[in-house]
Amino acid sequence: MPQATHDLVVIGGGPGGYVAAIRAAQLGLDVACIDANQQFGGTCLRVGCIPSKALLESSELFAAANGHFAEHGIEFKKVKLDLTKMLARKDKIVEQLTGGIQQLLKKNKITGYVGRGKIIAPGTVEVTPLDGGVAIEIAAETILIATGSQPARMQGVEYDGDLIGDSTTALSYQEVPKKLIVIGGGYIGLEMGSVWNRLGSEVTVLEAMDRILPGLDGEIAKQAQRIFEKQGFKFQVDSWVESAKVEDGQCVVRCKDREPLTADRVLLAAGRAPYTAELGLQNVGIETDKRGFIQVDKHFATSAKGIYAVGDVIGGAMLAHKASEEGVACVEQIVNGSGHINYDTIPAVVYTHPEIASVGKTEEQLKEAGVEYNKGVCPFGAIGRALALGDTNGRVKILADAATDRVLGVHCIGLRAGDLIAEAAVAMQFGASSEDIARCCHAHPTLSEAVHEAALAVNKRSIHT
């Protein structure tokens, strides 16, 4: 068996893996990065964040052309959907970005291996090409696992990867389904549901909990549901799916204590599961918890000496940027003994329309912890830029400690919330108070004025609301 030697072997070429590999190379290590796909970039770039956002943008423009452009005095006789071209645009963006990852690896002198990586002994990884070629054995002092996650399966749901599929399937429907049932009211289900709702599907979202967007601030989630319902979404909360199967060419979904539902397609978006299959963890004594996550310490070290793990595979927020930050912190700790990530300031974004973004604690979390806080809110209806853009749905909410005024959480639903939340994340990283944000001059007219006004409102000093 051919052999190679490197200082660090990273198993997984997604946002956690390739970023960690690049940072390690910058720090002087001889690095190898293994991925099971020809296109490096992981789920995020290939079948997740990037292609879904491409379709969200295209479908939003289609919806705007069908109605909202008329509000601006721009009228069309007829708007036609070319789904083939829309999907091709999505694929081109994926190809461009994954190709960029290959160039980054080359630029940083990182050796890329395409194949299935498996730990066969301490300090040894075997790479098996998917085309049946000759396996390669790699020796390395340090191994970093960054294999990410995959769509979770659900008991009773007869997944076929076609009529009953997951988020990857929903990126490539060759025609717009008349009826689409989405199992799961989280960000993945709502984003992909938005794409097909805008293109003409009748979308019904089934959520087992009593609200959509579990984990997000409750007030923001309630407003989001009202807005989505106006867009044509149908929601059934408290709906526990017992089965989903194809019967006579139709998808039939049965929920506990509810009438069966039928649809052309079903999108299973009930969360994600860590990808640890065939990694050879048992060969080095690494155990996973009952949900399959690898356990690590504060330095991202597993129970096996010299083996680390980051990203979705260790749990926590399953976000690409969280995985990247962990990858950087991990290799910095390995090389020079320092590296840090502040989990309290990792932002999250739902790329629906309007966007939803948050960082820090929700009101529910603060109440549960018994923390006294003050709240400042600014609706987008008070912002001139939002009026000019023709969309005043949403608000910015800032939660600050009642005693110290330190910002504990910021939650936003509205136009470009995903961009606005960056200011809040930076402010919180530096331990800012709401007064600090309020004292910063914000350009007029911009959407960021909503953040400024909400900061003023924390201490009942709002000017425009």
Task: State the catalytic residue, choosing from 321, 353, 442, 444.
Answer: 444
| DSSP helix/strand/coil, 26 | helix
Tokens of 229: 């319902």
Token pair recorded at residue 465: 């609301």
Beta strands in 323-402 (DSSP E): 348-350, 355-360, 373-379, 395-401
Residues whose CB falls within 8 Å of the CB of residue 180, separated by 6 or more in sequence, listed in order: 193, 196, 197, 201, 202, 203, 204, 263, 264, 265, 266, 267
**Which amino acid, 57?**
E
Q: How far apart are the first and last CA of the chain?
A: 71
Give dist(CA 110, CA 30) in Å, integer.
7
The answer to whether residue 6 is catalytic is no
CB contact at 8 A, 151 and 168: yes
Report how far residue 209's alpha carbon sits from residue 184's, in angstroms, rounded to the nearest whole number. 9
b or e along 124-137 (b: 16 or more beta carbons within 10 Å of the residue's beta carbon)?
bbbbbeeeeeeebe
Distance CA 26, CA 331 (A): 10
Helix/strand/coil percentages in the chain, nearest 5:
35, 25, 40
At residue 430, what are phi and psi to the nearest 5 degrees? -95, 10
Residues assigned a catalytic role: 444
